[in-house]
Amino acid sequence: MYEIELKAHVRNRQKTIELIEGFATFCGTTQKSDTYFHLFSTEEKKESEKHLTCRLRHESHTGPDGKQEERNLFTYKSKELRTDSNGASYEVNEENETLLSEPEALRKFLFDCGFSEAYKKEKDVRAWTYKTDYGIANIELCNVVPLGDFLEIEIICENCNNEDKINDELKKILVKSGIDLNDIEKKYYSELLKEASGGKNV
């Protein structure tokens, strides 16, 4: 499965929520605690940019009806940042994900295989879905500590045959949510977190 996704800075959180509530279906809130692991391809670990990345995530979800649920996920994905003809950036990700019953067992396995803990990311998420001609769009208003608010919009598809059209649809939803296309963020969260930490490797 492929995710075609974009994210943008949110300047007015309340206005964005009000606009999205006018056209999308509310799905609840989720606290996401992510730990990323890197396996470097050389011995110069701190200087090499080439590494495998995977993620352990703990989610605490509260549905629209108030029902609460917790789960643990392991994710491995290949990510590619692309730019459309107008210079706007979006991601195309091939994601592989599975539920975990014992995350600590996998954490130990990763360390024994040579992975190291790279960085952590905390997200406080408010989520909606919206039906499009290309499938269901997942819309998430995310507060990412210490970076602030972002709107993430993604459509999951079997292949990338309609990549350009899906990207156009994502931008339309972004504008519908009151976000200027100039606020689309080109960098990965890992890069933004590195900048926020004063240049420390993450």
What does the pLDDT look like over 45-93, one tens digit per residue?
555 456 789 999 999 999 999 999 999 999 998 877 778 777 777 778 7
Instruction: List the domains of the chain with CATH numbers.
Output: 2-196 (2.40.320.10)
List Cβ neighbours of 129 (8 Å cut-off, separation of 6 or more). Answer: 24, 25, 27, 136, 137, 138, 139
Pair of tokens at residue 176: 């519908």
Pair of tokens at residue 195: 């900048």
- Mean pLDDT score across all residues of the chain: 90
Range 118-138 average pLDDT: 96
For the chain, strand residue ranges (E) read 2-9, 25-40, 51-62, 68-83, 89-100, 116-132, 135-145, 148-157
Q: pLDDT grade, residue 197 (50/70/90)?
A: confident
User: In 10 A of CB 31, how many CB atoms?
Assistant: 14
Peptide bond into 146 cis (omega under 30): yes
Q: What is the pTM of this model?
A: 0.88
What does the pLDDT look like over 157-194, one tens digit per residue?
877 778 889 999 999 999 999 999 999 999 999 999 99
Return the closest-CA partner of residue 154 out of 168, 165, 139, 144: 139
Pair of tokens at residue 190: 């890992």
